């Protein structure tokens, strides 16, 4: 197993500075559901020097209503999204999608941004977020940019983000009260 440093920054600015400084030699961890597997299977780049743990940054952990928008911090876990009253009221399709992500352990640990940036064709929240016309807020150092979620994907497991950028927030317009939506997960059964 390769050696690397593990750093837990105190705030988002510090995390962004570390990403800019280390570029391709750094990886972020929040939920860690994919990174831990990659570590175990030794599938990380040999140039990796640092893992930046952003799991405890309160700045990335919120769900709030702001005017006509719902804003979700990138560190919010699937279980929190599935059970959140604002999401249930204004984006029920996302609530349902988040409730069927992986296993209970994955839902309790995995984050909304992690589900997005892994760009897995099996990612449950991505179709719901695309239907909601979601926008990502992305930071590189002090600079911020916005991008429609649908434009971030370049293919299976490939996103249009640089290694020194961090998704900070996902937001979308609230659906009108009374709007109907649903989400059905199509997957192979593990047992008969």
pTM across the whole model: 0.89
Q: 23-38, pLDDT tens digit by residue?
A: 888 888 887 766 666 6
Given a cut of 80, whether residue 188 has pLDDT beyond it is no
Q: 67-90, pLDDT tens digit by residue?
A: 999 999 999 999 999 999 999 999
**Residues 151 and 135: beta-carbon distance below 8 Å:** no
Q: 46-59, pLDDT tens digit by residue?
A: 667 888 999 999 99
Q: What distance in Å separates the CA atoms of residue 19 and residue 153, rounded to the nearest whole number?
A: 21
Residue, of 186 and 146, whose pLDDT is higher: 146
Q: Determine the topology of domain 5-173 in CATH.
A: 3.30.465
């Amino acid at each position: 197993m390769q050696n690397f440093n593990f750093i837990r920054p105190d705030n988002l600015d510090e995390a962004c500075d570390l990403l800019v400084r280390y570029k391709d030699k750094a990886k972020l961890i929040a939920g860690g559901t994919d990174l831990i597997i990659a570590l175990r299977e030794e599938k990380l780049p040999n140039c990796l020097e640092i893992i930046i743990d952003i799991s405890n940054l309160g700045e990335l952990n919120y769900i709030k209503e702001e005017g006509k928008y719902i804003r979700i911090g990138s560190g919010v876990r699937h279980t929190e999204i599935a059970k959140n009253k604002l999401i249930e009221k204004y984006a029920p399709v996302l609530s349902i999608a988040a409730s069927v992500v992986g296993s209970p352990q994955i839902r309790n640990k995995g984050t909304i941004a992690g589900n997005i940036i892994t760009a897995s064709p099996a990612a449950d929240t991505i179709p719901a977020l695309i239907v909601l016309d979601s926008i990502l807020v992305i930071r590189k150092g002090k600079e911020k940019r916005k991008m429609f979620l649908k434009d971030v994907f370049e293919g299976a497991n490939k996103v249009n983000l640089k290694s020194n950028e961090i998704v900070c927030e996902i937001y979308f317009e609230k659906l009108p009260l009374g709007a109907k939506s649903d989400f059905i997960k199509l997957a192979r059964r593990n047992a008969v």
